[in-house]
Amino acid sequence: MEGPTPVSALIHAATLVTAGVFLIIRCSIIFEASNSTLALLTLLGSITCFFAGSVGLVQNDLKRIIAYSTCSQLGYMVFVCGLSHYSVGLFHLANHAVFKALLFLSAGSVIHGLADEQDIRKFGGVIRLFPVSYIMFIIGSLALTGFPFLTGFYSKDVILEVAAAKHTIYGNFSHTLGCLAACFTSFYSFRLVILTFVNKTNGYKVSIQNAHEGSLQLLFPLMVLGIGSIVIGFITKDLMIGLGSTAFQQSIFVLPMNHCLIDSEFLNPIIKNLPLMFTIIGALCSWLLLYSNTMLSKVVILQYKLKAFNRKLFIFLSKK
């Protein structure tokens, strides 16, 4: 499915692709009746989260990378519903809507200013031409990766803590794939920022000469969403997932034996900080391979390209 950037922002953030997750949440009373169905949800969600993140690593279309990050985040929402924490899934859905709309509209601002070019290999060096879009893109990317105290952090970390606190095969499986997907998310988010804004210019001379920041009418929604991507998670966390919150009343049904939100609060600090560690690792790998331009990065990339298995893996992922 492809569409204009404002339409992409709408369907990826709020309406079409998140409708299935909302349906699962509203049908919680049905899913709670079958443990095998919950296990299947957990498996499908965690595999989707991991695989969509791995596909996003090798894409070169600006909007397509952001779209695959949506698939990955939907995997998080589905597997936390499979772990019977529907309110956490809805919390992540609401938070995701804010920063994903910001990312798509920031991408649209850059695409509009660069004569509708979407291939990130033809970008680079536009940080001075698009200062506002760059700042908004950074905020959206940090929120997406779960950077501490931004909107994505408050829901994404809780999802992975709930998975770890389950202490079941399905919980451990989803926690492992979720942490790896967090590493992938960090890698392709910073890859996007580096190749689009930071690296040396690699586009056509005409496109760069005529590149321009959008008007205030285009940038104002970005600023509103940028503020939301910083504060909305903190403001709404107690309402959505706080203990004793009556926001959902009888809308969500969970069997008492499936609750583990309190257990997740008392996990080992190392386990609680694992997602952040994986996020930092992904960001560092992205910086070392794409920006540092050291001999080590060149050797690693060359060795990667020379091996037949790696080529087949790249083709497999790029063909989705």
In this structure, what are the phi and psi dihedrals at residue 119, rounded to the nearest 5 degrees?
-80, 115
Answer positive or negative: Cα dihedral of 226, 228, 232, 234: positive
d(CA 73, CA 281): 19
pLDDT of residue 1: 63
pLDDT of residue 249: 82
pLDDT of residue 292: 74
pLDDT of residue 13: 84
Q: Whats the size of the chain, residue-wise?
A: 320
Report CA-CA distances (Å) from 40 to 22, 72, 74, 168. 17, 17, 15, 14
d(CA 279, CA 179): 8
d(CA 293, CA 284): 13
Mean pLDDT (10-residue bins), the chain, 320 residues: 82 86 94 95 96 93 93 96 95 95 94 88 87 95 94 95 94 96 96 90 82 89 95 93 83 90 91 95 91 75 84 88
> Residue 112 carries which side chain, given as an amino acid letter?
H
Nearest 10 degrees: CA dihedral of 48, 186, 132, 217? Answer: 10
> Residue 266 carries which side chain, given as an amino acid letter?
F
CB–CB of 226/139 below 8 Å? yes
Both tokens assigned to 241 = 């997932």
- Name 49's Cβ contacts closer than 8 Å, sequence gap at least 6: 72, 73, 74, 75, 76, 78, 79, 174, 177, 178, 181
d(CA 103, CA 145): 12
